[in-house]
Structure 1
Amino acid sequence: MRPLLDKLKTFFKPRGVKLIGDRLYVACVAQSRLPAFYTDYGVDDAIGARFELLTFHVGLVVTRLKSFDPADPRHEQAKETAQKLFDSFLLALDSTLREQGVGDLSVPKKMKKLGLVIYTRMKRWDDMWRDHSGIGAEADYAARTIFAGSDYDDEDAGEEPDAGLISALTLERAQAFAIYARAVQDSFRIDDALSGDIVWPKPAPLGNEARIRESVLSGGV
């Protein structure tokens, strides 16, 4: 009887945290590459903007996992899972830099710069959500980061984006993205995440008004 119980315990034992972290990272990558973000929302399909979009999705999952109720018995597992997801993200960035031909001596310096950007973005988003800053503030930040498409070649890449003029079209798209971000938070389920699964909401399509305005600005009408 004892061997059977041991086998059952092994069968129902939670999956390895590292495996779960890797699965969550793959889920974040897949979501951040949805064509709708680039074709409908107008996010620049370039390395800087793609990095911002991926950082947003990874950061949202990490912060949700880390902020889980300490009194809940799943707290430690959630905390470990968040760390493994973050580790998977950093490892993937390191591999990408090397694939792009960045030398071994330069990788640590570039990773440090990227790490500063990631920390800045994650903290800012989390602060806004905790403070209930509102769609307007979140849209403004999305416009200056995700919709700005920085390439991070400047030395102050980790600093807050400069205040500047934002076009009405970009702000409209950023507001739609901020609404999407709220939907992601509302649909987040801790048990799903701890199993390595995330059910993402679909980005709501923008109205025809934004597309018509874009066509006019580009001379298409």
Structure 2
Amino acid sequence: MSFFSKIFSRDNPNAGMQPLYNAIVGEGRQLAWYEEAQVPDTIDGRFDMIAAIFSLVLIRLEKDEERGQDIAWLTEIFISDMEGQLRQIGIGDMVVGKHVGRMMGALGGRVGAYRDALEKGAELKDAIVRNIFRGAKPDDAALDLLASRLAAYHAALGDCSSDAIVAGHLPASEAAA
């Protein structure tokens, strides 16, 4: 492929990551997260749950140094989707960029919090209360359930090959069972 055809190509390099993004969103929308683990079934709650699954996938893909570009493309799809979602709920052009910027900051914070909890010994329940319940602690049974399911999902991702993950073949969570 020539230099100019690469620059002016209509092919979207992100498209190869769309199946993975769809799988992440599908997992984040599993009803059990909301019904059994008491994640708030609101716009914010759905964002928080999708961001949690997205974070776990990013943490797993970061372990494969060859996946940096895939992570960038996946993140671009996330940004595009969040921008579209904001526009659908009526956020105007003048402020959509600020909202997307805040969402990306929130995602970055979540990736760090979940990485610290799942790989560096920080308390996962604290990260969950802060990032999914936004400080309003649910009952202990729901918090325990959510923490155990997210930890199990993180472990299951660790058992998957990067190729399978990038192809959108995510492990089935206990929430889906």
Shared fold by TM > 0.5? yes
Deviations 1:4-38 (A, max 9, x none): xxxxxxxxxxxx85222211111101111111112
Figure out how many residues of one structure are paired with residues of the other and give that number. Answer: 166
1:164-179 aligned at under 5 Å gives the runs 167-179=139-151
Q: Which sections of structure 1, spanning at least 5 residues, go unmatched?
A: 1-15, 151-160, 206-221
Opposite residue 203 of structure 1, the aligned amino acid is E
CA distance in 2, matches of 1:170, 1:33: 17
Give the % identical residues.
Answer: 21
CA contact (8 A) 1:65 1:190 kept: yes
- Asked which structure has the greater CA Rg, the reply is 1
TM-score normalised by length of structure 2: 0.81
| Match in the other structure for 1:60 | 56
CA contact (8 A) 1:184 1:200 kept: yes
CA apart distance, 1:168: 2.3
| Match in the other structure for 2:171 | 200
Matched, 1:144 2:130: yes
CA distance in 1, matches of 2:137, 2:77: 36
CA contact (8 A) 1:176 1:204 kept: no
CA apart distance, 1:92: 0.3
Structure possessing the higher relative contact order (Cα contacts under 8 Å, 6 or more residues apart): 2
CA RMSD in angstroms comes to 2.5
- Which shows bigger deviation, 169-178 or 57-66? 169-178
TM-score normalised by length of structure 1: 0.66
Secondary structure at the residue paired with 2:44?
A: helix
CA apart distance, 1:166: 5.8
| Match in the other structure for 2:3 | none
